[in-house]
Structures are given as structure tokens and as C-alpha cells.
Amino acid sequence: MRNTFSEALYEAATQNPDVYIVVADISPAGSMAKFSQQYPERFINVGVAEQSMIGICAGLALKGCQPFAYTIATFSLYRPFEMVRDDLCYQNLPVTVVGMGAGVIYSTLGGTHHTQEDIAIAGALPNMQILAPCDPPECTEATRWCATQRNGPVYLRIGKAGEPVLTKDAEPWVFGKLRYLRRGKDVCILSYGVITKMAVEVANRLEAQGRSVSVVSCHTVKPLDRAGIADALRSHKQVIVIEEHAPQGGLAPQTKQIAWDIRATCRLDTFTLQDAFIHNYGSHDDLLAAHGLEPGKILRTIGAEG
């Protein structure tokens, strides 16, 4: 996903001389070498200095530029949090803060490198928009949108590398709207970001058991498509939320809130990371499983064959 981000950004920088990327000693691979060679004055590496990364992006944006801040998600959002809040959100500047490797992707690196609460934290900030693409092509769409939008700040939550394409047969990507990757009648699985891959696997196994299943990428986490979620809750007998985020402040509690508001009658199950730092040093899948996010367990919990 980071490669497709850098390719889309290079393309945007070629079209717009005001596109900058400010990185903090972490650089996306792919076309970023081409970006830094071709536009060295617009590729800024601040080193291990994330507060200044955000402040510099704010200064560029105050002068009309379209900057991106880029590093591992914990360091792009948590370390410089007050700069994100005051410099970007309070001033409502069109800066994209890229959180790479969000969730527990950096599984073996431990809790210092896990981003379990980013949606809650970024989502609480006025003016902040949040995009979390589910696969590389969706990351391209999101990056292109970020490079031209003038609404205000964006937290772009992306994965790392090797994510499968899930959107081959999906509807077009539209900012602020749910995107159905497939449409079914019985069950609807809402997800966003890299873990959407697990949503697709759960859907495949449910379909093998004779169920008709929708899979939805809620790529725009803020502003959330409340009407779209209400529609999904009304039009399916069962709705499942799968997200790689703490139980608080993410898609799961918001979906429950919408369900309450519309007096939804469907069955609703939510699966999130635990509210815990888990000291497990296996693969990304191992760590997700340690949090309880595993297709078999999800299926058994919802009453299907695991």
C-alpha cells in the first residue's frame, strides 16, 4: 500500500508544484526515490523530529501548498499530537498526515509501534477527516483525493506492503460514501483498512455456507457515511463490524450508535482489538488472533460454522 501511495503522490507532485512530502526518517518505497530525485526541494526529511514535521507542513499550507506528512502511524499522530491539533486542525489546513503501518501491522515491534487508538484520537479532533483505504487501488484513490482537496486536514491511515486487491469488482470510490465490494442480502460486513481482507475471508466462508453477504469498505471513517450505515442496518438481517482498532471511538461503537438511533432490528456483532497492550511477537495475523480477531472465531461467535 505504501508503494501505491508513493506512486500516486509522485503523479500528484508532477501535476502540482505545490505538493510537498515531509517525512520523519521513514520513506515510502516505490516511486519515492523518483520523487526525491526529481523534486528534491519538495521532498523534506526532517529526521527524527516529528513535531517539526507537522509544524513545517502547517507553514507550507499557510502559504497555499499541499503538503503530506509521512511516517509510521504512531509517530505521525501520537508524538506530534498537539501540532496536529493546533497547527492543522485548529487552523483547518489541507495537510495530509499519513499514518503508515497503522493498527498492529508492526506486530513484532511491540506496543510502541502499534496504533490501536488512532481513529478515536484523530476522530475526536474538529475539522479532521479520516481515510483508511482497504487495498492498494483504494489507497491510490484516497491519495489522489488528498492531493487536491482543500477542505482541511486528513489523517490517511494506510498499511505497509503486500495487501491483496479487494476492490476489483467494487463500486467507484467516492469520498464520504460507503463502498460495497460486493452486495448480498443476508449479512453485511462493515470494515475499513487492511483488516478488510479478513472481512472478505469471513464473507467467503459464509457464502460457502449458503449465506448472501455484502462486504463494505468504510474507507471514509470521518465524516462517516451515517446514512449509508443506516441503510446497511435496515437492509440486512445481520451486520458485522470488523475493525483493527480499540473498542472505543472507532467504527464499532459508531455503528451501534446509529443502530440505536434508527431502532435497527438486525443482529449486530462487532469485532475489534482489545482494550489492552498484548505482548505477542508473532506475525500480524498472530497478533490479531491474540486480540480475538480471527475468521474462525468470528464465524463461531456469530453462530456460523468456524
Find the shortest distance in angstroms from Cβ 48 to another protein: 9
Angstrom distance (rounded) from CA 53 to CA 274: 31
Q: Which residues, numbered 147-186, are part of the site for another protein (CB under 8 A)? A: none
Q: In terms of CB distance, is 44 or 287 closer to another protein?
A: 44
Find the shortest distance in angstroms from Cβ 117 to another protein: 22
From 9, 23, 58, 215, residue interacting with another protein (rule: CB under 8 A) = 58
Give every CB contact of residue 218 below 8 A, 6+ residues apart in sequence. 132, 178, 190, 191, 192, 224, 225, 229, 251
With DSSP H G I counted as helix, E B as strand and the rest as coil, what are the percentages for the chain, rounded to 5? 40, 20, 40
**Phi, psi (degrees; rounded to nearest 5) at 299:** -60, -45
Find the shortest distance in angstroms from Cβ 290 to another protein: 35
Give how far the C-alpha of residue 64 lies from the chain's centroid of Cα atoms, to the nearest Å: 26
From 17, 111, 164, 176, residue interacting with another protein (rule: CB under 8 A) = 17
Q: In terms of CB distance, is 45 or 212 closer to another protein?
A: 45
Give every CB contact of residue 162 below 8 A, 6+ residues apart in sequence. none
Per DSSP, the residues of 29-96 read -TTHHHHHHH-GGGEEE--S-HHHHHHHHHHHHHTT-EEEEEEEHIIIIITTHHIIIIIIIITT---E
Counting contacts by CB under 8 A, is residue 305 touching another protein?
Answer: no
Q: In terms of CB distance, is 56 or 264 closer to another protein?
A: 56
Counting contacts by CB under 8 A, is residue 65 touching another protein?
Answer: yes
Counting contacts by CB under 8 A, is residue 36 touching another protein?
Answer: no
Find the shortest distance in angstroms from Cβ 84 to another protein: 11
Find the shortest distance in angstroms from Cβ 289 to another protein: 39
Find the shortest distance in angstroms from Cβ 125 to another protein: 14
Find the shortest distance in angstroms from Cβ 58 to another protein: 5
Angstrom distance (rounded) from CA 169 to CA 182: 7
Asked if the bond preceding 153 is cis, omega within 30° of 0, the reply is no
Site string for another protein, 77-96 (x = CB under 8 A): -----xx--xx--xx-----
Angstrom distance (rounded) from CA 244 to CA 50: 24
**Number of residues counted as binding another protein (CB under 8 A):** 30
The residue with cell 498472530 is 286
From 30, 55, 103, 136, residue interacting with another protein (rule: CB under 8 A) = 55
Find the shortest distance in angstroms from Cβ 121 to another protein: 17
From 9, 13, 60, 100, residue interacting with another protein (rule: CB under 8 A) = 60
Q: In terms of CB distance, is 54 or 156 closer to another protein?
A: 54
Beta strands (DSSP E) in 148-237 are 154-157, 179-182, 187-191, 213-217, 220-222
Angstrom distance (rounded) from CA 306 to CA 295: 7
Chain contacts with another protein (rule: CB under 8 A): 17-18, 20, 41-42, 44, 46-47, 49, 51-52, 54-65, 67, 82-83, 86-87, 90-91
